[in-house]
Structure 1
Amino acid sequence: MADKPAEDDAAAPKKKGKGKLIIMIVAPLALLGGGVGAGMYAANAGLLGGGGHTPEKEDHGPKLVPKEEQKRAAAGGEGGEGHGEGGGGGGERPPSGEGGDKYASNYYEMEKEFTSNLSDSMHFVQVGIAVSTPYDDTVIENVKTNDIAVRSAILMTLSDTTEDQVFSSEGKQKMAKRLTAAINAVLKQKEGFGGISNVYFTSFVVQ
């Protein structure tokens, strides 16, 4: 009976050792779990880079202009003069009609006329040119910025034109389409975007 307390005393350190081992294993797991939880919270709250709420990149490219938006701007906004009771136009809006283009046309007349010899001919052509785009002023500004390159493309296109094309309406329409393609090719090369929808002749002389 005298030996039993000694055995109990020898077993006690073993139990304490197991207790320390369990505490050492549980503590890192608790820290790891807490770190993961904190990381998930920070990500959801947008505190970490690449979180759930990433701001969208703002598009600074040309934008299409609906006709209604252009009309409101020309009339001074929705509450501008000429609309509603007491407006300068008697409170009546003009009929909108049916059909037509969905987007507004933004026009720009190029400075100076273009003069070029015709292909395989003694004649030359002199034309005034205006362009239109359904986009905002960004496209027009691109035309102005690249004026020299655009003018060069127009002159080369005119020099490839034959007499048959300049003496008929159908030929002039084809020439306008070729000029549109030439201008857009320059804008795409320089700015990455064309945007010109039509070319118009403001003057047309063949001599």
Structure 2
Amino acid sequence: MSDKPEDAAPKKKGGKMKLLIMVLALVVLVGGGVGAGVYASSAGLIGGGHAAAADHGPKLVPKSEQKRPAAGGEGEGGHGGGESSGSGGAHVPSGGDGDKYASNYFTMDPQFTSNLQDSVHVIQVGIAVSTPYDDTVIENLKTNDIAVRSAVLMTLGDTPEEQVFTSAGKQQLQGRLVKAINATLQQKEGFGGVSNVYFTNFVVQ
């Protein structure tokens, strides 16, 4: 009779341990499954994830999908609207495949007037930009027009006089303007996308 209570105690302890181990195993399995699901979703493997979010970002436009102005039209790709003109491909930051993509042009109006660095001369320039991406980049330019124009004016104001009188100097200025515009768009929208800057007017007074 005295042995029965002693035998029952270890059985109870063993049962509790088994139950605890089963509960812990279940928690680990459920937690692992949830974690795997979250990872797969965020990686775009299920439910869209980042892939769905990326659908809302700028997309490269292949030349085969390039929109061209109607015959007899003004041919200005400068006001967005998805119009692209010209046959030259834009430089794609991720590689040298620019000729595979359309060039979407946008003219920044009005023109820019600025003093030059340490100079009595004033520069007046018309600027157009191109992007191999869809209208998202142009819409970002329009939305952040004031910030972008400020960045352009500061870049022009930092330009030494000798740079605006040679072709090589103007090309350097184009590169600096691309960087300034993309840096502003990156800060405001998280994406730059401008590949080139073109001068539609260039006057030094």
* Pairing 1:10-89 to 2, within 5 Å after superposition: 13-43=1-31, 46=33, 50-54=34-38, 55-56=41-42, 57-58=49-50, 59-60=53-54, 62-67=57-62, 71-72=64-65, 74=67
Cα distance in 1 for residues equivalent to 2:66 and 2:30: 45
Q: Contact 2:60/2:134 (CA < 8 Å) preserved in 1? A: yes
Counterpart residue type for residue 148 of structure 2: V
Counterpart residue type for residue 143 of structure 1: L
* TM, length-normalised to structure 2: 0.65
Distance change >3 Å, CA 152–CA 110, structure 1 → 2 = same
**TM superposition shift of 1:106:** 3.0
Structure 2 residue aligned with 1:129: 127
Cα distance in 2 for residues equivalent to 1:147 and 1:100: 26
Structure 2 residue aligned with 1:142: 140
* Pairing 1:96-175 to 2, within 5 Å after superposition: 101-175=99-173
**TM superposition shift of 1:121:** 4.3
Distance change >3 Å, CA 27–CA 104, structure 1 → 2 = same
Cα distance in 1 for residues equivalent to 2:98 and 2:29: 54
CA distances 1:21-59 after superposition (whole Å, capped 9, x unpaired): 233123212322331343344345x4xxx4321120524
Cα distance in 1 for residues equivalent to 2:126 and 2:17: 80
Q: Contact 1:64/1:103 (CA < 8 Å) preserved in 2? A: no
After TM superposition, the structure 1 stretch with the greater mean CA deviation from structure 2, 105-114 or 180-189, is 180-189
Q: Contact 2:137/2:194 (CA < 8 Å) preserved in 1? A: yes
CA distances 1:59-91 after superposition (whole Å, capped 9, x unpaired): 4584451525xx23749xxxxxxxxxxxxxxxx
Structure 2 residue aligned with 1:204: 202
Structure 1 residues without counterparts, runs of 5 or longer: 1-12, 76-98
Distance change >3 Å, CA 178–CA 43, structure 1 → 2 = closer
CA distances 1:118-176 after superposition (whole Å, capped 9, x unpaired): 34444432211111223343333332222112112212222333443333222221111
Distance change >3 Å, CA 152–CA 43, structure 1 → 2 = closer
**TM superposition shift of 1:193:** 3.7
Structure 2 residues without counterparts, runs of 5 or longer: 43-48, 69-96
* Pairing 1:177-188 to 2, within 5 Å after superposition: 177-188=175-186
Structure 1 moving runs of 4+ over 6 Å: none
Greater C-alpha Rg: 1
For this pair of structures, how many residues does the alignment match?
A: 166
**TM superposition shift of 1:114:** 1.0
Give the share of equivalent positions with the same residue, in percent.
Answer: 52
